[in-house]
Structure 1
Amino acid sequence: MNENRHAVDQLADVRAEIKQLKAREEKLRSEVVAGGDMIGDDNEAALSEFTVERLDVEKLKVELGMVFLRPFLREKIVKRLQIKPRQTKANRTT
């Protein structure tokens, strides 16, 4: 990675690498689970299954109403940094 690149460009590169790694992880995970061979040379995998319950907040709002739910809701500020290619003369379509 070129450290002389702007931090925004480096961040975009890192996110692209992460996307590729996540795809590779999912492919390998599928192979391990489907094949059943869970013992490697250096590592061993263990597959577990469990049930997780989640609340459907939108359904709760409909069923119980906001007057009832408001005291139980908490807000959280989330900051999201989106990266997108810049429009430059070289990559503009005319």
Structure 2
Amino acid sequence: MSDPSFISRFYASLEDYLQQLEQAALTGDLAAMRKLGHKMLGLCQLFGTPAQVSLCEALEAAETWAVIKPVLIILRAQIASDKDSSIGEPAR
């Protein structure tokens, strides 16, 4: 992925999904959280890192908020870290 605008759009999409996940968490909508995890999984399988894929798989499979909460925290940190390192890379 050497197109900086593509990378920016990818991470903007992930941020949108994270915000939707956090909104679903406020209402306690586990089904919506799992569905959003599934959507993020597809996006990350195509364009993300293995760590992102693994965390999205955990979100999709989660059966309780107690499982989702720590995964969501780790995923947000992972995405921020990956975004910083990928945007900082020189174009190839």
Shorter-normalised TM range: 0.3 to 0.5
Q: Which has the larger radius of gyration?
A: 1
Higher RCO, 1 or 2 (CA under 8 Å, sep at least 6)? Answer: 2
Task: Give TM-score, length-normalised by structure 2.
Answer: 0.35
Task: Give TM-score, length-normalised by structure 1.
Answer: 0.35
